[in-house]
Amino acid sequence: MSDAKTPFELMMAQAQEMVKAMNPALETFTPKGFDSLWPTMPKEWMEMAFGNAVNKDGLDAKTRLFLTLAGLTMQGAQAEAQIRMTVRHLLEAGAKKQEIGECIAQMSMFAGIPAMTRAGEIANDVMKDHDAASKGEEEE
């Protein structure tokens, strides 16, 4: 039997060993929660920066965020932190859960079912967190 590995596998194994040596805590690092380092922008700020404040006939921030979510799904839903952040901002911009789901589902025609499923799982996770946070705010 041969344990031959591709150059990429060897490079990844070497990188993992180097990371463990530099900071053992990084051995168990996952990108989940990484997006929480960046705060959610208020809807008004998103409109000013990314919406149609400068170009009155242009796209609003919510539409731009839907396009971003579609693009991230099309890439195979591999950028988890970016999808989480985009869904969080969509909710802040007033998007409904059904609209977010439809945007992701529409991409199944182009990106495939696995990408749609993964993006949907990530979005559902964000929406559950959003619901829990909203419920907690109501109880205070």
Domain assignments of the chain as residue spans, ordered by start: 1-30, 31-139
Q: Please report how many Cα atoms fall inside a 13 Å half-sphere around the Cα of residue 53, on the Cβ side.
A: 11
Distances (CA, A) of 117 to 25, 29, 127: 30, 23, 15
- CATH fold group of domain 31-139: AhpD-like (1.20.1290)
Residues 6+ apart with CB under 8 A from 31: 80, 81
> E-strand spans in 9-135?
none
pTM over 0.85: no
Task: Calculate the CA 19 to chain-centre distance.
Answer: 25
- Cα separation, 62 vs 50, whole angstroms: 9
For the stretch 3-55, pLDDT in tens is 667 887 888 788 878 877 887 776 666 666 666 666 777 777 777 777 667 77
Percent of the chain beyond pLDDT 90?
A: 41
Q: What is the mean pLDDT of residues 99-109?
A: 95
